[in-house]
Chains A and B, each alone.
Chain A
């Protein structure tokens, strides 16, 4: 999350990837940094250690959403109605 904030502060288009277990922390850190609306996408938890196939599947799923978000043609999870419901 902090990496994303630091990139956004350098005016680099940024989307932070946050797992469901850490979704509240993402909200907290974004708010504390004064960037509560920094775009975030929610990943299932855990990602690390979930295995090559699982991570590859997740990457395939998330990449188009990531690109769309960077092109401002979709809405990040932290601004959608169904978001902010950590697992």
Chain B
């Protein structure tokens, strides 16, 4: 349900939005009727179209509501199709959004964008792509979060029960560096064509760094990298290690991806070998958290931190250097924290008379 408020100034409207829990705590662009209408127009859809209820509050996810939050986040109309596709993906019942919004775990939807829309919107994939300074990344990810607050009804300590949360709950969006990746783009591994644009979303913890020093003279370099990634995934504090399920995300920087490529390792082989090495002894898990291990279980059995190789979402992003990034996950919910995705439709937008905010 949309509401229309009247205020004597934009400053007064901003204070109303803050006081009524409609922001993420930072200033927002005031979603005037004109700005929202222009943003909705960029979707090419009827603003009244409902995409479904968003949990945990069950708010009606209309195109108008999404456009409102996109305006507030600072999105340009060009960004709207990306926000729309991300929300469409997250409304897939398999994503368990109501439960994910409600969990005590530190998890947030990580949005990875593939395809030509990356250039059209300027979504960064290189140095600091998850950090500040990239308008499209910041505002698209923020729009997703504001939708979760204002449509989904996420309120810290009331309906969003994350014990601490993480900074990715403000914004958590980047693109794959398809141009520097030695492998086919991530979305082609999910059944799309390379020329399609796609929003890939997975609930994820904050980024965990994984250090790896390549040595061109060392024939075991590629194997060392894969085992380093596996060790980071299987870290004994993660939900994945103890629940043995859920997708995890690995962002390799271009240099590291090329180490694997040079060793003849493609994405599927890398997933297979990381999965095989991301194990813990059941006895060690039982020592730390016996509640999650069946009594009498064989302590010497090796258990995988993720169920299957394809549950490791492997893509290329970031500047080249020492560090890869691993995103462990919540690993819970009825569907065990899966990856969801939706095509970003870019040919439905109407002509927009100017892009500046009026």
Contact = CB atoms under 8 A, between A and B. Distances in A.
A85 interface: no
B153 A24 contact: no
A24 B158 contact: yes
Interface stretch (A25-33, A57-65, A71-79): A25-33
Interface string B142-164: 00000000000101011101000
Interface in B88-109: 98-99, 102
A42 to B, nearest CB: 16
A28 B157 contact: no
Contacts of B157: 24
A28 B102 CA distance: 11
B57 A32 contact: yes
A49 B102 CA distance: 21
Contacts of A33: 58
Interface string A21-49: 01011001100110000000000000011
B74 interface: no
B56 A32 contact: yes
Contacts, number: 27
B58 A28 contact: no
Contact of B56 (A24, A28, A48): A28
Contacts of A48: 291
B318 interface: no
B190 to A, nearest CB: 29
A28 B155 contact: yes
Nearest to B59: A32
Contacts of A2: 98-99
Contact of A28 (B99, B153, B291): B153
Interface in B53-104: 55-58, 98-99, 102
B158 A32 contact: no
B6 to A, nearest CB: 27
Nearest to B159: A28
A86 to B, nearest CB: 9
A52 B55 CA distance: 35
B153 A32 contact: yes
A25 B58 contact: no
B161 A32 contact: no
Contacts of A25: 102, 158-159, 161
B158 A28 contact: yes
Contacts of A32: 55-58, 153, 159
Contacts of B58: 32-33
Contacts of B56: 28-29, 32
B159 A29 contact: yes
Nearest to A24: B158
A28 B98 CA distance: 12
Contacts of B158: 24-25, 28
A2 B161 CA distance: 14
Contacts of B55: 32
Interface in B314-353: none
A31 to B, nearest CB: 9
12 contacts: A2-B99, A22-B161, A24-B158, A25-B158, A25-B161, A28-B56, A28-B57, A28-B153, A28-B159, A29-B56, A32-B57, A32-B159
Given A25-B102, A32-B55, 6 more contacts: A2-B99, A24-B157, A25-B161, A29-B56, A32-B159, A48-B291
Interface of A: 2, 22, 24-25, 28-29, 32-33, 48-49
Interface of B: 55-58, 98-99, 102, 153, 155, 157-159, 161, 291
